[in-house]
A and B are shown apart, each in its own frame.
Chain A
Amino acid sequence: MAKSRFSHPSLYLALITLAFGAFVVSFHFSRSSFFCANTKSCLKGYRETIDNNSLGSFLGQTVIPPKIDLLTESKDPTLTVLGDSTYEGEKHIYVDLSAQKLYAFQGETPIMETLISSGLWGRTPIGNFNIQSKFRATRMAGGRGSDAYDLPNVPHTMFFYGDFGLHGAYWHNNFGHPMSHGCVNMRLIDARDLFNWADGPTASRSGTPVSVCDSFTSPDICIQQKPIK
Chain B
Amino acid sequence: MNKKTLLVLVLIIFTLLSASAGFLLGKSYPTEITPTYSPPPPPPPPPQVTSQSSSDGTRQLIMTATLNSDGTHTYTFSTTSDSHRDKQLVYTQTLDQAQTMAIPFNSWSPDNKYFFILEQTAGKDTATLIFPSSGAPFSTGEKYLDASDIFTKKGTGHRFDQATGWASNSLILINTTSDSGTKGPSYWLELPSKAIIRLSTVF
By a beta-carbon cutoff of 8 Å, the part of chain A in contact with chain B is 58-59, 61, 63-64, 66, 115, 120-121, 146-147, 168-179, 187-189
Provide the bound-state CA to CA distance between A21 and B64, in Å: 67
Provide the bound-state CA to CA distance between A34 and B165, in Å: 28
Total residues of chain B contacting the partner, CB 8 A: 22
Interface residues of B in 49-82 (CB under 8 A from A): 53, 55-57
Q: From residue B66, how far is it (CB to closest CB) to chain A in Å? A: 28
Interface residues of B in 65-102 (CB under 8 A from A): none
Provide the bound-state CA to CA distance between A120 and B173, in Å: 14
> Could you tell me if B55 and A173 are in contact, using CB atoms closer than 8 angstroms?
yes
> Could you tell me if A174 and B164 are in contact, using CB atoms closer than 8 angstroms?
yes
Chain A residues touching B, majority SS: loop
> Could you tell me if B203 and A173 are in contact, using CB atoms closer than 8 angstroms?
no
Q: From residue A153, how far is it (CB to closest CB) to chain B in Å? A: 12
> Could you tell me if A174 and B167 are in contact, using CB atoms closer than 8 angstroms?
yes
Q: Which residues of B contact A177 (CB under 8 A)?
A: 164-165, 173, 203
> Could you tell me if B203 and A120 are in contact, using CB atoms closer than 8 angstroms?
yes
B108 within 8 A of A: yes
> Could you tell me if B168 and A172 are in contact, using CB atoms closer than 8 angstroms?
yes
Provide the bound-state CA to CA distance between A121 and B200, in Å: 12
The residue in chain A whose Cβ has the minimal distance to the Cβ of B165 is A174
Q: Which residues of B contact A64 (CB under 8 A)?
A: 111
Q: Which residues of B contact A115 (CB under 8 A)?
A: 105
The residue in chain B whose Cβ has the minimal distance to the Cβ of A121 is B201
Q: Which residues of B contact A173 (CB under 8 A)?
A: 55, 106, 108-110, 165-166
Q: Which residues of A contact B170 (CB under 8 A)?
A: 61
Provide the bound-state CA to CA distance between A147 and B168, in Å: 13
Q: Which residues of B contact A178 (CB under 8 A)?
A: 203
| Listed A/B pairs (20) with beta-carbon separation below 8 Å | A59-B168, A61-B167, A61-B171, A63-B169, A120-B201, A121-B201, A170-B110, A171-B168, A172-B110, A172-B167, A172-B168, A173-B106, A173-B108, A174-B166, A174-B173, A174-B203, A175-B105, A176-B105, A177-B165, A178-B203
Q: From residue B10, how far is it (CB to closest CB) to chain A in Å? A: 96
The residue in chain A whose Cβ has the minimal distance to the Cβ of B112 is A173
Other than the given A120-B203, A147-B201, 17 more pairs (CB < 8 A) read A61-B168, A61-B169, A63-B110, A64-B111, A121-B201, A172-B167, A173-B55, A173-B106, A173-B166, A174-B173, A176-B105, A176-B106, A177-B165, A177-B203, A179-B167, A188-B56, A189-B57
Q: From residue B94, how far is it (CB to closest CB) to chain A in Å? A: 29
Q: From residue A178, how far is it (CB to closest CB) to chain B in Å? A: 7
The residue in chain A whose Cβ has the minimal distance to the Cβ of B163 is A174
> Could you tell me if A189 and B168 are in contact, using CB atoms closer than 8 angstroms?
no
Q: Which residues of A contact B55 (CB under 8 A)?
A: 168-170, 173, 187-189
The residue in chain B whose Cβ has the minimal distance to the Cβ of A58 is B168
Interface residues of B in 168-182 (CB under 8 A from A): 168-171, 173
> Could you tell me if B165 and A175 are in contact, using CB atoms closer than 8 angstroms?
yes
CB-defined interface of B94-137 with A at 8 Å, one 1/0 digit per residue?
00000000000110111100000000000000000000000000
Q: From residue A139, how far is it (CB to closest CB) to chain B in Å? A: 18
Q: Which residues of B contact A169 (CB under 8 A)?
A: 55
> Could you tell me if A172 and B56 are in contact, using CB atoms closer than 8 angstroms?
no
Provide the bound-state CA to CA distance between A61 and B197, in Å: 14
